[in-house]
Amino acid sequence: MIGRLNHVAIAVPDLAAAVKTYEAALGARVSAPQVLPEHGVTVVFIDLGNSKVELLEPLGENSTIAAFIERNPTGGMHHICYEVEDIATARERLMAQGARVLGDGNPKIGAHGKPVLFLHPKDFNGTLVELEEV
């Protein structure tokens, strides 16, 4: 069901500082920031050719990642994103197997303009999983 790895997301407390670090230390080329109010984050992507790294910063106090940053003040790996061909079919199959879809269970449009869902980390070995339809 899952396809290729789309990205690994790293939550950061200061996006501008993280971008500088990735550019200076690793020579990364970083995309322009995208503000995603529906997800409560601002993101940038580092294209690695075969996948991406997403740096995400909380957008306001009510951000979905604000609690994560509070627990991890220097940031850390937040989630991993896999591609799926049909997100509705993937959701139904996963829910039938007992996996929990976060939020209201309906896909939202993600940073790449495609439908995404998040799966509860307790159902996937402590890792928050994002599915993105390709």
Residue 133, CA distances (Å) to 20, 61, 82 in order: 31, 29, 9
Euclidean distance between CA atoms 99 and 52, whole angstroms: 26
Q: Is residue 61 pLDDT above 90, yes or no?
A: no
| Catalytic residue list | 130
What pTM does this model have? 0.95
Match 């940073």 to its residue by tokens: 111
CATH class held by domain 5-133: alpha beta
- Average pLDDT rounded to a whole number, residues 120-134: 97
The CA distance from 100 to 121, in Å, is 9
Number of helical H runs and strand E runs in the chain: 3, 8
pLDDT band for position 115 (50/70/90)? very high
